[in-house]
Structure 1
Amino acid sequence: MRNAKLQNYLHLHFIVFVWGFTAILGELISIEALPLVWYRMLLASGFIYLYVVFKKISLTISRKLFFTLFFAGIIIALHWITFFAAIKVSNVSITLAMLSTGAFFTSILEPIFYKRKLIWYEVLFGVLVITGLYIIFEVEGNHFLGIVYALISAFLSSVFSLINGKVAQIHNPSMISFYELLCGVGVITLYLIGATFFGTATEGFTIAFFQVSVSDWIYILILASVCTAYAFIGSVKVMKYLSPYTVMLTINLEPVYGILLAVLIFGESEKMSTQFYYGALIIISTVILNGIFKNAKKRKSTSTLRNITK
């Protein structure tokens, strides 16, 4: 049992490392954010469909659930578009540091979604996150557009996780992911069709849209299969053996892995000022501390409940 837990813990670290590599691929792929996300979602939904068929998972859903997943698909599509757009106009380090603010947005939105009171330490951590953001804005003002895109991406990621948090409790995660990706790429396709007929000569499904280099195809296939379909299915499996607290803390290492990889692969273009790393450290540390506080509170509540039922 202990060996199984260790294997799944190491597997989770590998998955988080793979997620961190997603940003690297976004930098390596030469096409723009919109077509990049279209190819990613189209291929990933195909890969997950094959998995669903192989596992004989039912795809029958209610109309209400379909519209929920349809909305979630739009949110995740916009999240990825702004994520890759941030990388294109700034760099990996800026994007991943800003993406860490997702936990801050969640702490604000969660009381609204789940109708609970705001917790005092969430307010304190929110102030610390804003402090970290202020430091980064001060020293990296030339990356302003990238910072804005990444913050929008972090906000959308938070909204998506809150929607999924509700539906994943009662529905199969692979089925959910398939519909979300399919709906997301469907909406992007409709947009591109509209742009083809009513936009400029460079918008929509143009000849240039389908002129993808061999290297870009290789990177896109890795992104769609390993970094999306495999990572999703693998993360669901390890959650059966590891506590939510362990999973949460490990996932928070994604920006750390990604930033280190970016510096190693891209060198000088990813090296930021010392103050940037101070700001990023404040944000990432705040996210981890938030998880520690939440876990301590959950353990205390569980312990109290056990004492009552004795």
Structure 2
Amino acid sequence: MVVFIYGFTAILGKLIVLPAVEMVWYRMLIAFLALGVYLGWKKRSIAYPKEAIVRFFGVGLVVAFHWITFFHAVKISNVSVTLGCLASTTLFTSILEPLITRRRFVWFELIIGLVMIMGLYLIFQFEFQYKWGIITALTSAFLAGLFTVLNKTFIGKYRPDVISFYEMGSGFIGITVFMLLSGGFASGLPVASAIDWAWLLILGIVCTAYAYVVSVEVMKELSAYVVVLTINMEPVYGIVMAYFIFKDSEYMSAGFYAGTAIVLSAVFLYPFVLRKWRQLAERRAKRELVS
């Protein structure tokens, strides 16, 4: 369900007329308020050590920049290009997780990452007119991998809903400061139309507050890499929905679909390779015990 919700996020990003920065500003504000109401209703304490709150604030800024680059990529290219490139989050996570969490590198994760690079190269070659959208989407994918791994380090110590509350708040504050310094409020608060407000409420409450808490919660049981792998179903749903909703603007070349298919094939191949790798490791361990 959460994967389907994430797939709809890019659709909302194209439907909402506001620029990316203002859109994320509203998104994080709505999510922050929704999470605040939820925590108050549940009577959950948000009194955490200062060091932890500072770390949450840092990750919240990464999340904000990830969403800004994500929606900006949608605006300057389209939903299909953005989601196709976002699948590379798995590649970045396979590199970042061992570096940050001290988990050892797994050789086949890197091989799968190389296969993804081949797919991304095809996308870039056949959709060069969207080069800045591709570069922006890849930046967003890197940031998605980074904040997912960083959030993994919090799990087990802190509640996912409180983590999300602080991260949404810090992202909102960070964007507010940026807009103040850049003159974003020179003509007052960003004005959203009635239909934009409807989409923003869905984006902020359902696609952010709810989905973000659930994705952080599942990290109690799964590695950051596997979480990202699961979320990578997002491009499948998103590209299909975008094609039927936006029609011609989402029709891409055969090279794009071939590149995206390579990326997604690498993503979905991972669980099977992992299972085989674990079976081989168990057999080796048994042989060593016998000998």
- If the length of structure 1 is used for normalisation, what is the TM-score? 0.85
Tell me the CA shift for residue 251 of structure 1. Answer: 2.6
Structure-1 residue corresponding to 2:202: 222
State the number of aligned residues.
289
Match of 2:44 among 36, 57, 78: 57
TM-score, scaled to structure 2: 0.90
CA distance in 1, matches of 2:225, 2:145: 18
Q: 1:264 aligns with which of 227, 244, 251?
A: 244
1:246 and 1:301 mapped to 2: Cα distance?
Answer: 19
Q: Provide the rounded CA distance (Å) in 2 between the counterparts of 1:214 and 1:302.
A: 59
Deviation at 1:193, TM superposition (A): 1.4
Give the 3 Å change call, closer, same or farther, for CA 238–107 of structure 1 in structure 2.
closer
**Native 8 Å contact 1:76 1:156 kept in 2:** yes
- Report the equivalent of 1:143: 130
Q: How does 1:64-79 map to 2 (within 5 A)?
A: 64-79=51-66
2:108 to 121, 140, 160: 121
Q: Which secondary structure does the structure 2 equivalent of 1:31 belong to?
A: coil
Alignment of 1:185 onto 2:185: no
- The residue aligned with 1:32 is 19
AA of the residue aligned to 2:49: S
Counting only pairs closer than 5 Å after superposition, residues 180-219 of structure 1 correspond to structure 2 as: 180-196=167-183, 204-207=184-187, 209-219=189-199
The match for 1:278 is: 258
Q: Aligned-residue CA RMSD in angstroms?
A: 2.8
- Name the CA distance, whole Å, in 2 between partners of 1:74 and 1:248: 19
Distance (Å, rounded) in 1 between the aligned partners of 2:36 and 2:14: 27
Rounded Cα–Cα distance in structure 1 between residues aligned with 2:97 and 2:213: 25
Q: Distance in 2 between matches of 1:107 and 1:243?
A: 10
- One-letter amino acid of the counterpart of residue 220, structure 1: L
1:37-116 equivalent positions in 2, closer than 5 A? 37-116=24-103
Residue range with higher mean Cα deviation, 117-126 or 258-267: 117-126
Q: Does the aligned pair in 2 maintain the 1:33–1:84 contact within 8 Å?
A: yes
Give the Cα separation in 2 of the matches to 1:117 and 1:300: 17
CA distance in 1, matches of 2:217, 2:113: 32
* Alpha-carbon distance in structure 1 between the residues aligned to 2:206 and 2:279: 35
Q: Is 1:156 matched with 2:147?
A: no
Name stretches of at least 5 consecutive residues in structure 1 with no aligned partner: 1-13, 197-203
CA distance in 1, matches of 2:113, 2:52: 33
Instruction: Give the deviation of 1:37 after TM superposition.
Output: 0.3
Change (3 A) 1:31 1:46: same
Q: Do the aligned partners of residues 271 and 99 (structure 1) sit closer, same or farther apart at CA in structure 2, a change above 3 Å counting?
A: same
Please say which of residues 177-186 and 285-294 is displaced more in the overlay: 285-294
Cα distance in 1 between the residues matched to 2:180 and 2:114:
43
Give the Cα–Cα distance (whole angstroms) in 1 for the partners of residues 97 and 218 of structure 2: 25
Amino acid at match of 1:123: L
